[in-house]
């Protein structure tokens, strides 16, 4: 006789199956197999009691599309599933998702520690805009995880990293930083945008919260803005009394306590019920639909993305007009071993390299490519090129740009799904002209 407990256990579906099916089912009214676009602002209540229960968070359902929408809900469940998380809330952009995370954690005067190797917009958001809200960020070099411990203060409420940094291809030792966060009793927030859950699942390495710009690889086609905040469900909000917004009664909901009432999905519930309610940075159902469609091919696209990126990086490595390259899939990279640990399926598809002629050489290169598109995005099916010093990181000082891996000579590539030989030829010809 077999083991009845194993026979009765639900099957564990593979990642590829979950990218297509998680969170979705045929529409119960029409039988539509693809998730419909619920292009509506609001939803009819069964009766007054049903409406009251929804507004009091005593039952789950749909009230108003600033808070919940059936199309967006499918995407939220799918992203949480792919990250092996407990729950997720989607937002209008990656920056909106980051704002929801920190608004749900911080009070004026609170602090957090962040890697200095971040997307330039995140550095500006954390270092300038958040300061106006009374939230102070300490930026540290992530090359030594102990730098995060040294930057901790009694007011620290979180640690933030990009597991695969934009734009420099820096790989952070997630497990080591997670240990430091756990010792300090604060959540580790990981931006997993460039890696995606196909290449890395930060919750498996000790992260507590994950944010995504779904605009990038999750959507995958350069069509749809969006962001996602995912929680692991494992963080103890009651430890040390550091998070009163999670553990003390909320006056707007008749004194309920988010961590106690909703348990392991209390954080995303608070981000939705308070953050989305009051700031309104919700994802549109149209963008959710397009992102769901993109997610269905995530596994296939990421395989080709990293295959092409490896080929292009190997071509650029040692090119006479290239002074250095950061791709972590190259044995010469200082992050090669970390990439093997955290990104065993490939070191992503976004990396940087330096042109020997500095700022002017970078400008000439982006103006001479033909197949690569010169624009400020990553994670598209098309290959993209950017000179960060003159675009995404131009608002930073020279010192900040250098610290973020976006110096004057830096070129950022986002490698798409074209034929690798065509991409190599385009870069070779443009480098010759520059």
Instruction: Give the H/E segment covering residue 50.
Output: helix 48-55
CA distance 197 to 334: 23
Pairing status of strand 136-140 against strand 373-374: unpaired
Instruction: Give the per-residue pLDDT at 3.
Output: 47
Note the pLDDT of residue 371.
97
Which residue do the tokens 């297509």 mark?
20
Confidence (pTM): 0.94
Nearest partner of 226 among 237, 241, 238, 216, judged by Cα: 216
* Predicted local distance difference test score (pLDDT) of residue 100: 98
Q: Is the dihedral of CA 242, 248, 253, 258 positive or negative?
A: positive
Asked if 261 and 188 touch (Cβ cutoff 8 Å), the reply is no
Residues 152/242, Cβ–Cβ less than 8 Å: no
Residue 15 host element (H or E): helix 15-21
pLDDT at 5: 44
Residue pLDDT tens, the chain, 434 long: 344 444 455 668 999 999 999 999 998 889 999 999 999 999 999 999 999 989 988 898 999 999 999 999 999 999 999 999 999 999 999 999 999 999 999 999 999 999 999 988 899 999 999 999 999 999 999 999 999 999 999 999 999 999 999 877 899 999 999 999 999 999 999 999 999 999 999 999 999 999 999 999 999 999 999 999 999 999 999 999 999 999 999 998 989 999 999 999 999 999 999 999 999 999 999 999 999 999 999 999 999 999 999 999 999 998 999 999 999 999 999 999 999 999 999 999 999 999 998 888 888 999 999 999 999 899 999 999 998 877 766 777 777 777 666 788 899 999 999 999 999 999 999 999 87
Q: How far apart are the first and last CA of the chain?
A: 72
Q: What are phi and psi of 322, to 5 degrees?
A: -115, 125
Torsion sign, CA atoms 253, 257, 259, 260 = negative
**Cβ 174 vs Cβ 196: under 8 Å:** no
CA distance 210 to 191: 6
Domains and CATH numbers, the chain: 13-294 (3.40.640.10), 298-433 (3.90.1150.10)
pLDDT of residue 84: 97
Q: Which residues pair with 171 in a beta bridge?
A: 164
Instruction: Say how far residue 79 (Cα) sits from the centre of its chain.
Output: 11
């Amino acid at each position: 006789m077999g083991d009845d407990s194993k026979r009765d256990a639900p099957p564990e579906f593979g990642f590829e199956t979950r990218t297509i099916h998680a969170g979705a089912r045929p529409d119960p009214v029409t039988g539509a197999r693809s998730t419909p676009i619920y292009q509506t602002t609001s939803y009819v209540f069964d009766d007054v009691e049903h409406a009251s229960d929804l507004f009091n968070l005593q039952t789950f359902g749909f009230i108003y599309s600033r808070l919940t929408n059936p199309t967006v809900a499918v995407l939220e469940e799918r992203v949480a599933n792919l990250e092996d998380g407990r729950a997720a809330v989607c937002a209008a952009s990656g920056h909106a998702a980051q704002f929801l995370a920190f608004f749900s954690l911080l009070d004026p005067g609170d602090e957090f520690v962040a890697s200095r190797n971040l997307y330039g917009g995140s550095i500006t958001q954390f270092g300038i805009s958040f300061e106006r809200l009374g939230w102070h960020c300490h930026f540290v070099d992530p090359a030594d995880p102990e730098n995060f411990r040294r930057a901790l203060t009694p007011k620290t409420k979180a640690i933030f990293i990009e597991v695969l940094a934009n734009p420099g291809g820096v790989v952070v030792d997630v497990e080591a930083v997670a240990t430091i966060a756990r010792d300090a009793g604060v959540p580790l927030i990981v931006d997993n945008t460039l890696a995606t859950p196909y290449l890395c699942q930060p919750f498996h390495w000790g992260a507590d919260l994950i944010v995504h710009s779904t605009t990038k690889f999750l959507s995958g086609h350069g069509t749809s803005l969006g962001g996602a905040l995912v929680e692991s469900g494992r963080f103890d909000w009651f430890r040390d009394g550091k998070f009163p917004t999670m553990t003390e009664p909320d006056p707007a909901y008749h004194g309920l306590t988010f961590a106690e009432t909703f348990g392991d999905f209390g954080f995303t519930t608070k981000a939705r019920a308070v953050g989305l309610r009051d700031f309104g940075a919700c994802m549109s159902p149209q963008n959710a639909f397009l992102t769901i469609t993109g997610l269905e091919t995530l596994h296939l696209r990421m395989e080709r993305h990293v295959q092409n990126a490896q080929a292009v990086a190997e071509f650029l490595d040692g090119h006479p007009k290239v002074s250095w390259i950061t791709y972590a899939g190259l044995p010469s990279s200082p992050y090669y071993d970390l990439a093997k640990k955290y990104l065993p399926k490939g070191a992503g598809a976004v990396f940087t390299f330096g042109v020997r002629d500095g700022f002017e050489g970078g400008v000439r290169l982006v103006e001479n490519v033909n197949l690569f598109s010169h624009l400020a995005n990553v994670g598209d099916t098309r290959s993209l090129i950017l000179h960060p010093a003159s675009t995404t990181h131009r608002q930073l000082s020279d010192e900040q740009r250098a610290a973020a891996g976006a110096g004057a000579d830096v070129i950022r590539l986002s490698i798409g799904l074209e034929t690798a030989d065509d991409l190599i030829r385009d870069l070779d010809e443009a480098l010759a002209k520059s």
